[in-house]
Amino acid sequence: MTSPRIAHPGLAAHRMDAAQAAEWIQPGMAVGMSGFTGAGYPKAVPQALAARMEAARERGEPFALRVLTGASTAPELDGALARAGGIDFRLPYQSDPELRARINRGEIEYMDIHLGHVAQYAWFGFLGKIDVAVIEVAGILPDGRLIPSTSVGNNKTWLDLADKVIVEVNHRQPIGLDGMHDIYYGTALPPERRPIPLLQPGDRIGEPYLRVDPEKIVAVVETDAPDRLGSFAPPDATSQAIAANLVEFFRHEIRAGRLSERLLPLQSGVGNIANAVLAGLQDGGFRDLTAFTEVIQDGMLDLIEAGVITMASATALSLSPEAVARFAANIDLFRERIVLRPQEMSNHAELVRRLGCIAMNGMVEADIYGNVNSTHVAGSTIINGIGGSGDFARNGFLSCFVTPSTAKGGAISAIVPMVSHVDHNEHDVDVIVTEQGLADLRGLSPKQRARAVIANCAHPDYRDLLQDYFDRALAGSSGRHTPHLLGEALSWHQRYLDTGSMRG
Ligand code: COA
């Protein structure tokens, strides 16, 4: 018997519960799962799998997997599997507290990789064999094609490459998602690659559905559960000041003739600050903007609803519970204005560069020369991962990084002599913004950059210390091109580890 969401009779016959479906997954396998920034991840099979792993562990039998996704998922996937000791290798972006803790304790190998690179890495054969794909969808068509869910991520790749496929059909995902996606099937491996025919953020160059060989589908599991997404911190004085600095910069660029009133397609990163920056754009009086970005967070949804953004391309919706309700209520409007694509397209270097995206990403810290750390505390403890920030920073028209000038109540300066980990080097960073001001690094030498970053971005509590470091480095370092005192360059981080404060 078919149900409206499972319209393929052969696949309807493969319906089973999550525990039965999880039996297809064996220790040591590589499993490609759906899920991107907490959206569209499988809700039931990973938990059933975790229960099997716990049972195996009690019997003294190791049961761990290589787990590959689009990006971060939620407690039902990363949390459950990590807690069961069921992940021995994970990529790419993650943000689950349990998983993060185990990575930082050295129990799980984690590979942080540009989100735009994951699919081609898999296709190149660099990730080895993919045994099983576990993919959440909103429905199955009569011909077996899949209606994608709230994220596309790497689903196309996992469906194509995996030997076997488990599909979770989530009745909670709005069926109105049907038609919002654009799955491009024109990719190829070098040297057969062709230009990707996308000229505007809203162009549709593929088809709305995911293809899959029905013969590979071994289980169909029905679920009825929401994406588990947190809320964003409301914009505060600091994030509002950051946004105001960026808006003023855009106005300056318009006056200088380097940008038009419509700017260029916006990319906005994950996190509270990036979300707050979008609210600032709304207040800044902009209209008729577009976005070519990775995730649509609440701030972007507000701009779309308000008509500030008329078209947004992304790979996932990462909305708070309140925004999910708004999205569902207005889904017909959003389907006209949002296109969800595979992440190999949303984050594609060729497209980001052709469209000339304005990249705006959060960061952990920047150094006086403009190198940026997006991922690590004190050089060795990972927070989330690089996400798509590098895809956009390297290839965009403008690469902006935003952060409050201090963290942890002022104990940490976000501007340091030398970053403790490099995700974006000085060659990929155009603009650094804090609530203190903005450093425009375009066309500047390292020493000129250092003066701009210290004067404009550092918190007053740390500004003199940074200036003092730079002055002494200029006088005392072996080379005068990028002056550093190597024995001291990371001493701020060491001081934080030793005393709990960079101030000492
Ligand atoms: N040192 C130590 N901790 C720091 C820090 C620093 N210099 N800067 C920020 N943090 C901590 C904050 O204290 C906070 O910790 P808490 O959760 O314990 O309070 C946490 O990092 C998040 O900081 P917050 O100021 O709330 O910023 P955010 O939510 O905007 O997140 C990043 C900032 C860098 C963590 C986030 O943007 C990120 O993961 N970026 C990398 C991925 C990316 O850019 N993706 C975009 C592509 S679409």
pLDDT per residue as tens digits for the range 246-268: 999 999 999 999 999 999 999 99
Q: What is the pLDDT of residues 422-468, one digit of tens each?
A: 999 999 999 999 999 999 999 999 999 999 999 999 999 999 999 99
Mean of all residue pLDDT scores within the chain? 96
Nearest CA residue ID for atom 6, ligand 1: 364
Candidate from 103, 270, 361, 422 with most ligand 1 atoms within 8 A of CB, to mutate: 270
Alpha-carbon distance of 376 to 501, in angstroms, equals 17
Q: Among all residues, which ones are annotated catalytic?
A: 294
Residues 6 or more apart in contact with residue 157 via CB below 8 angstroms:
32, 118, 119, 122, 123, 342, 344
For CA atoms 113, 119, 125, 131, the dihedral sign is positive
Answer whether residue 24 shows pLDDT above 80.
Answer: yes
Q: Please tell me the distance between residue 271's alpha carbon and the centre of ligand 1 in angstroms.
A: 7
Distances (CA, A) of 9 to 160, 307, 318, 390, 501: 22, 42, 33, 44, 63
Alpha-carbon distance of 95 to 74, in angstroms, equals 8
Q: Measured from the CA of 392, which atom of ligand 1 is nearest?
A: 47
Ligand 1 lining (C-beta closer than 6 Å): 269-274, 294-295, 361-365, 374, 377, 383-384, 386-389, 404, 407-408, 412, 414
What's the whole-number mean pLDDT along residues 395-414? 98
Report cis status (omega within 30 of 0) of the bond before 4. Answer: no
Q: Please tell me the distance between residue 474's alpha carbon and the centre of ligand 1 in angstroms.
A: 31
Candidate from 37, 343, 364, 502 with most ligand 1 atoms within 8 A of CB, to mutate: 364
pLDDT at 392: 98
Distances (CA, A) of 503 to 77, 373, 423, 499: 40, 20, 25, 9
- Determine what percent of the chain is predicted with pLDDT higher than 90: 93
Alpha-carbon distance of 390 to 49, in angstroms, equals 33
CA atoms within 13 A on the CB side of 176: 14
pLDDT at 49: 98
Candidate from 383, 420, 421 with most ligand 1 atoms within 8 A of CB, to mutate: 383
Q: Which two tokens stand for residue 235?
A: 């914009």
Closest by alpha carbon to 167, among 144, 198, 199, 194?
A: 144
Q: What is the pLDDT of residues 137-185, one digit of tens each?
A: 999 999 999 999 999 999 999 999 999 999 999 999 999 999 999 999 9
Distances (CA, A) of 423 to 369, 374, 387, 394, 458: 14, 6, 10, 11, 20
Q: Please tell me the distance between residue 135's alpha carbon and the centre of ligand 1 in angstroms.
A: 29
Q: Is 285 exposed, middle or buried (0-12, 13-18, 19+ CB in 10 A)?
A: exposed
H or E segment and range at residue 309 = strand 309-314
Q: Measured from the CA of 389, which atom of ligand 1 is nearest?
A: 47
Q: Measured from the CA of 295, which atom of ligand 1 is nearest?
A: 48
H or E segment and range at residue 388 = none
What's the whole-number mean pLDDT along residues 310-318? 97
**In the structure, what pLDDT confidence band is assigned to residue 278 with cuts at 50, 70 and 90?**
confident
- First-to-last alpha carbon distance for the chain, in angstroms, is 69
Higher pLDDT, 5 or 1: 5
What's the whole-number mean pLDDT along residues 59-70? 97
Distances (CA, A) of 418 to 122, 154, 232, 379: 34, 35, 30, 11
**In the structure, what pLDDT confidence band is assigned to residue 235 with cuts at 50, 70 and 90?**
confident
pLDDT at 12: 93
Report cis status (omega within 30 of 0) of the bond before 92. Answer: yes
Number of H helices, E strands in the chain: 18, 25
pLDDT at 274: 83
pLDDT at 148: 98
What's the whole-number mean pLDDT along residues 225-230? 89
| Ordered DSSP codes for 394-451 | HHSSEEEEE--SEEGGGTEESEESS-SS-SB-GGG--EEEETTEEEE-TT--HHHHHH
pLDDT at 275: 81
**In the structure, what pLDDT confidence band is assigned to residue 496 with cuts at 50, 70 and 90?**
very high
Nearest CA residue ID for atom 16, ligand 1: 408
Nearest CA residue ID for atom 9, ligand 1: 364
Alpha-carbon distance of 27 to 16, in angstroms, equals 21
- Write down the pTM of the prediction: 0.97
Answer whether residue 29 shows pLDDT above 90.
Answer: yes
Candidate from 267, 375, 408, 416 with most ligand 1 atoms within 8 A of CB, to mutate: 408
Return the beta strands (E) in 144-206 as ranges: 146-148, 164-170
**Cα–chain-centroid distance for residue 177?**
21
Contact 201, 313 (CB under 8 A): yes
pLDDT at 228: 85
pLDDT at 421: 98
Q: Is 251 exposed, middle or buried (0-12, 13-18, 19+ CB in 10 A)?
A: middle
Q: What is the pLDDT of residues 31-58, one digit of tens each?
A: 999 999 999 999 999 999 999 999 999 9
pLDDT at 2: 57
pLDDT at 469: 98
Residues 6 or more apart in contact with residue 458 via CB below 8 angstroms:
405, 413, 415, 434, 436, 466
CA atoms within 13 A on the CB side of 476: 12
- 3-class SS of residue 176: helix
Q: Please tell me the distance between residue 374's alpha carbon and the centre of ligand 1 in angstroms.
A: 8
Q: Measured from the CA of 404, which atom of ligand 1 is nearest?
A: 25
Q: Which amino acid is at 321?
A: P
Q: Please tell me the distance between residue 364's alpha carbon and the centre of ligand 1 in angstroms.
A: 5
Answer whether residue 1 shows pLDDT above 80.
Answer: no
Q: Which two tokens stand for residue 501?
A: 């404060």
Conformation bin of residue 437: beta by default, left when phi > 0, alpha when psi is -120 to 50: left
The 3-state secondary structure of 451-475, one letter per residue: HHHHHHHCCHHHHHHHHHHHHHHHH
Nearest CA residue ID for atom 17, ligand 1: 383
DSSP state, residue 118: H
What's the whole-number mean pLDDT along residues 232-240? 88
Q: Which amino acid is at 150?
A: T
pLDDT at 397: 98
Q: Please tell me the distance between residue 268's alpha carbon and the centre of ligand 1 in angstroms.
A: 14
* Other CB atoms within 10 A of residue 363 CB: 25
What's the whole-number mean pLDDT along residues 124-143? 98
Nearest CA residue ID for atom 31, ligand 1: 271
